[in-house]
Amino acid sequence: MDFKEQVKSSVDIVKVIGEYVRLRRMGATGRYSGLCPFHQEKTPSFSVNQSRQFFKCFGCSVGGDVIKFVMDIEGMTFWETLNLLAERNGIPIPKRTEYSDAESKLRGALMDMHALAARTFQANLRSPQGGEAREYLVRRGLSDEMIEAFGLGYSDPGWDSLTKRFSAEGFSAELQESSGLVRRRQESSGHYDSFRGRLMFPIHNESGKVIAFGGRAMSSEEQAKYINSPETPIYRKSYVLYNLHRARDGMRHSNRVVLVEGYMDVIGVYAAGVKEVVASCGTALTATQVRALRRHADTVIVNFDPDTAGINASERAIQLLLDEGLRVRVLSLDGGLDPDEYAKQHGAEAYRAKLESANGYFHWLADRARVKFDMRTSEGRMDAFKFLLPSIQKISDRLERASIANDVAGYLGVETGLVLDQLKRSATERRAPVPQTPAQASISAIERILLTALLAGQDVREQILPRLSAQMTEAFQTREIVDVLRQMAPADGPVPFEALEGRLSPAAQSLLHQIIAADDTSDETQRLEHAHACLRRLEADRRKGQIDGLRARVKSAEGEGRLDEALRLMAELTKLERDNQKGEGL
Ligand SMILES: [Zn+2]
C-alpha cells in the first residue's frame, strides 16, 4: 500500500470533515449533510457519504475524497495534506524529500522556519532581554499560563539574530525572504530581521501550525504600534482568523463565537473563560473569514472597541455577517472599555454575564441611528428607521422580520403604520435572489440503478457488462462512465473509485459524483436483481426499437413497389416479434 492509500484507509471522511463542517446524519445509510463550506447557502446541499468515503455539494458541484476536502479547505498542497492527516492519525511519515513536490517543499520549509521563529521568540521572552516585554505583559495582567498558551514571545532588537539563526539551520537567503520574517537590505548586501524588539503573537492556521506573526512595539518611538507578517505562500490574510484553532471546539459546543478586534482582546476574553473568541488579524473582516466562522457556529457576538474606528468596523462586520446568514448580537461595554480592559476591571464573571445579555444587532444599530439623526422631528425618526431597514430585511424569517421592525419602530418612536408601509414597499422593490445553483442534469432511474449496481460489485459487473451492448447505452447520459467501466481491467470488489474518476471528463465526473452521493440502501443481492431488471427493460426497449424500425422499412418498401424486399423484411419482422414475446415472457 502506498503512503496515500495508507493515509486514506486510516481516516474516516465523516470524522475529518466533521471537524470543519457541522454534519447531521441522514437516516441510517451512512450519509451526512451540512452547510457547504465552499459556497454561500442557507439550506444544506453538502453531503458526505461514509461508505464511499466521498463528499459532494449539489449547490456548487465540488466533490471528492477526504484529501481533496482538506486541500481545498486548508488551501494546502496534496503532499502537505497527506502529511497533516498522517500526523493527526499517528501514521509514520516518510521523509519529506521523498513525498513532496516543489510547492509542498517550499511551504514545508516556511512552516519549519515559523516553528523555529516561534521557539526563538519564546526563548527571548524568557531571557534577560525580554524583561521589558515581560513587564508590559504583567501590567496588562497576563498570567504565565496565558503567555504559554498563546505562545507569546519577543523578537531580538538587534538587526539579524533570526536571520543568522535561519542561515545556521541551512535555510537559503531566498527561502528566508519568502518567509516574510527576513528582509533584504536596500543599500548594502545582506538581510535583516523583519520583527525587532517587539512583543510577538504567533498566528496559526486552522490546524494549529504557526504561519505568521503579529508584533507589538515596546517603545512609543516606533511608528507602527502593530506590524504583521506580509502575505506569503502559507499566509493569506483574508482567510485566517486569530485563535480559530483554539476556539473551534468551544464554538461547536456553545454554537456562538465572540468576535473582537485585537490579539490582546482575544487573550483577555479567553482568560475570562470564554474560549470561543477570535479576531481578524491585520485586516478588516472578510467574507472568507465569516464563512470559516459559520462552519462552527450560528451566532456571532461582535465586541469591538467603543472608539470611532471600532464602531465603523462593527457596522461593516454586522452587514457582512448578516449577508452570510449568521445571527448577530452586539456587545458594547460601558465606560468605553475594550473587552480585555473590561474583563480585567470588572472580572471574568461580569464579562461573561455581559456576553449573555448582549442585544440583537438591530438594537445596537438603532442606538447608532439615534445618534446620527435628529430624533426630535418625525422626518428624522423616519430617516433613522430607513437607515435600519436594509439590515432588518436581511432577516429571512417573515414573522421575525415584522416583529423586529415593530420593536425598532417602537424604540425610535415611529408610527407602526408607516413601518409596515416601508417594509411592504421595499419588499416589492427587492428582487428575490436567483439561486446560483448550476443546472444539474438529472440522471434517469435506469441509469442510476444500473450504475449503482455496477460500481458496487464485481459479480454485477461480470454478469451485466457483457450483456449491456454499446447500442443499449448509446443514448445514456452516463455513457462515458459505462464505457470506462467496460475498459477497466476486472478488479475484485468495488471499482477503485479514483481510477475510474481519473479517466472521466469533468462532466462525467460530476455525473459519477451524483450517483455516488445518492442514497443506496440495497444489498448485493438486491442490486443484482435491480440490475437484471434494468437490463431486461433495456433489451425490451432495444427490440421494440428494432421492430419499429423494421415496420417502417416494410412500409416504405411496399410503398415504393419493392415487393421482394418487403417480403424479406416482413419475415424478419415476424421472427423478431416472436422472439420479443418470448423475451417478455422470461
Ligand atoms: Zn457548495
CATH number of the domain residue 409 falls in:
1.20.50
Q: Are residues 375 and 399 in the same domain?
A: yes
Instruction: Tell me the average pLDDT across 65-86.
Output: 90
Instruction: Tell me the average pLDDT across 133-137.
Output: 94
pLDDT at position 17 over 90: yes
Lowest-pLDDT range of 19-33, 119-133, 300-314, 436-450: 436-450
Of the CA atoms within 13 Å of residue 413, those in its CB half-sphere come to 12
Q: Rounded to the nearest whole angstrom, what is the distance from the C-alpha of residue 16 to the centroid of ligand 1?
A: 17
Q: Rounded to the nearest whole angstrom, what is the distance from the C-alpha of residue 483 to the centroid of ligand 1?
A: 29
Q: 129: burial class by Cβ within 10 Å (0-12, 13-18, 19+)?
A: middle
Q: Are residues 353 and 303 in the same domain?
A: yes
Cα 162-99-107 angle, rounded to 5 deg: 30
272 pLDDT band, cuts 50/70/90, is very high
Q: Are residues 422 and 313 in the same domain?
A: no
Q: Rounded to the nearest whole angstrom, what is the distance from the C-alpha of residue 57 to the centroid of ligand 1?
A: 5
Cα 103-108-110 angle, rounded to 5 deg: 100
Contact 37/20 with Cβ under 8 angstroms? yes
CA distance 1 to 196: 48
Contact 71/77 with Cβ under 8 angstroms? yes
Q: What is the DSSP string of 357-386?
A: TPEEHHHHHHHHHHHHS-TTSHHHHHHHHH
pLDDT at position 528 over 90: no
Asked whether residue 53 is domain-assigned, the answer is: yes
Q: Rounded to the nearest whole angstrom, what is the distance from the C-alpha of residue 422 to the centroid of ligand 1?
A: 35
Asked whether residue 475 is domain-assigned, the answer is: yes
Residue ending a domain, among 308, 325, 357, is: 357
Q: Are residues 252 and 346 in the same domain?
A: yes
Q: Are residues 77 and 106 in the same domain?
A: no
Contact 520/535 with Cβ under 8 angstroms? no
pLDDT at position 581 over 70: yes
- Three-state SS for 192? strand
Maximum Cα–Cα distance across the chain: 112
Q: Rounded to the nearest whole angstrom, what is the distance from the C-alpha of residue 45 to the centroid of ligand 1?
A: 7
Q: Give me the chain's average pLDDT, please.
A: 86
Q: Rounded to the nearest whole angstrom, what is the distance from the C-alpha of residue 39 to the centroid of ligand 1?
A: 5
Contact 270/343 with Cβ under 8 angstroms? no
Asked whether residue 195 is domain-assigned, the answer is: yes
Using a pLDDT cut of 90, give the percent of the chain over it.
Answer: 37
Q: Rounded to the nearest whole angstrom, what is the distance from the C-alpha of residue 177 to the centroid of ligand 1?
A: 36
- Beta strands 210-217 and 198-204 are antiparallel
- Provide the domain count of the chain: 5
238-263 exposure pattern, b = at least 16 Cβ within 10 A, e = fewer? ebbbbbbebbbebbeeeebbbbbbbb
> All 3 cell numbers of residue 86?
498522517
Q: Rounded to the nearest whole angstrom, what is the distance from the C-alpha of residue 47 to the centroid of ligand 1?
A: 9
Instruction: Tell me the average pLDDT across 393-397.
Output: 74
Q: Which residues pair with 330 in a beta bridge?
A: 302, 359
CA distance 207 to 70: 10
Q: Are residues 165 and 218 in the same domain?
A: yes
Using a pLDDT cut of 70, give the percent of the chain over it.
Answer: 92
Q: Rounded to the nearest whole angstrom, what is the distance from the C-alpha of residue 437 to the centroid of ligand 1?
A: 9
Asked whether residue 93 is domain-assigned, the answer is: no
- Beta strands 299-302 and 327-330 are parallel
Q: Rounded to the nearest whole angstrom, what is the distance from the C-alpha of residue 40 to the centroid of ligand 1?
A: 7
| Segments in 156-305 forming alpha helices (H) | 161-168, 173-178, 244-254, 263-271, 287-294
Q: How many angstroms separate the first and last alpha carbons of the chain?
A: 46
Q: Rounded to the nearest whole angstrom, what is the distance from the C-alpha of residue 433 to the centroid of ligand 1?
A: 17
Asked whether residue 95 is domain-assigned, the answer is: no
**Which sign does the torsion angle of CA 206, 207, 209, 211 carry?**
negative
Q: Are residues 479 and 571 in the same domain?
A: yes
The label of the residue with cell 462586520 reads 317
Q: Rounded to the nearest whole angstrom, what is the distance from the C-alpha of residue 311 to the centroid of ligand 1?
A: 33
The label of the residue with cell 525580554 reads 130
Q: Rounded to the nearest whole angstrom, what is the distance from the C-alpha of residue 446 to the centroid of ligand 1?
A: 27
Residue ending a domain, among 235, 257, 285, is: 235
Return the CATH number at 142.
3.90.980.10
Contact 245/206 with Cβ under 8 angstroms? yes
Return the CATH number at 80.
3.90.580.10
pLDDT digits (tens, 9 = 90+) for 202-253: 999 988 999 999 999 987 776 788 899 999 999 989 889 999 999 999 999 9
CA distance 524 to 529: 9
**Which sign does the torsion angle of CA 249, 251, 254, 257 carry?**
positive
Characterise 301 by phi-psi region: left (phi > 0), alpha (psi -120 to 50), beta (else). beta
Q: Rounded to the nearest whole angstrom, what is the distance from the C-alpha of residue 395 to the centroid of ligand 1?
A: 22
Q: Rounded to the nearest whole angstrom, what is the distance from the C-alpha of residue 297 to the centroid of ligand 1?
A: 18
Q: Are residues 217 and 285 in the same domain?
A: no
Q: Rounded to the nearest whole angstrom, what is the distance from the C-alpha of residue 108 to the centroid of ligand 1?
A: 29
Q: Which residue has the higher pLDDT, 580 or 365?
A: 365
495-512 exposure pattern, b = at least 16 Cβ within 10 A, e = fewer? bebeebbebbeeebbbbb
Asked whether residue 97 is domain-assigned, the answer is: no
147 pLDDT band, cuts 50/70/90, is very high
Asked whether residue 42 is domain-assigned, the answer is: yes
Q: Rounded to the nearest whole angstrom, what is the distance from the C-alpha of residue 294 to the centroid of ligand 1?
A: 14
Q: Rounded to the nearest whole angstrom, what is the distance from the C-alpha of residue 455 to the centroid of ligand 1?
A: 25
Asked whether residue 571 is domain-assigned, the answer is: yes
- pTM for the predicted model, two decimal places: 0.70
Q: Rounded to the nearest whole angstrom, what is the distance from the C-alpha of residue 52 to the centroid of ligand 1?
A: 19
Q: Are residues 141 and 68 in the same domain?
A: no
Q: Which residue has the higher pLDDT, 495 or 551?
A: 551
Residue ending a domain, among 189, 208, 235, is: 235
Q: Are residues 124 and 250 in the same domain?
A: no
CA distance 34 to 18: 9
Q: Are residues 163 and 51 in the same domain?
A: no
Contact 36/59 with Cβ under 8 angstroms? yes
Of the CA atoms within 13 Å of residue 203, those in its CB half-sphere come to 27
321 pLDDT band, cuts 50/70/90, is very high
Q: Rounded to the nearest whole angstrom, what is the distance from the C-alpha of residue 535 to the centroid of ligand 1?
A: 35
Q: Rounded to the nearest whole angstrom, what is the distance from the C-alpha of residue 64 to the centroid of ligand 1?
A: 12
Q: Are residues 504 and 535 in the same domain?
A: yes
**CA nearest neighbour of 257 among 317, 312, 201, 344:** 317
pLDDT digits (tens, 9 = 90+) for 398-434: 777 788 888 888 888 887 777 777 777 766 655 444 4
Q: Rounded to the nearest whole angstrom, what is the distance from the C-alpha of residue 44 to the centroid of ligand 1?
A: 9
Rounded to whole angstroms, what are the CA distances from 422 to 83, 142, 390, 431, 515? 56, 50, 11, 15, 47
pLDDT value of residue 187: 81
pLDDT digits (tens, 9 = 90+) for 422-480: 777 766 655 444 444 444 457 788 888 888 888 877 777 888 888 888 888 888 888 88
Contact 272/302 with Cβ under 8 angstroms? no
Q: Rounded to the nearest whole angstrom, what is the distance from the C-alpha of residue 35 to the centroid of ligand 1?
A: 8
Identify residue 510 by its one-letter amino acid code.
S
Instruction: Tell me the average pLDDT across 275-296.
Output: 90
Q: Rounded to the nearest whole angstrom, what is the distance from the C-alpha of residue 69 to the centroid of ligand 1?
A: 12
Residues in the 5 Å CB sphere of ion ligand 1 = 36, 38-39, 57, 59-60
**Domain containing residue 394:** 365-430
pLDDT at position 579 over 80: no
Q: Rounded to the nearest whole angstrom, what is the distance from the C-alpha of residue 302 to the centroid of ligand 1?
A: 27
- Beta strands 54-57 and 226-228 are unpaired
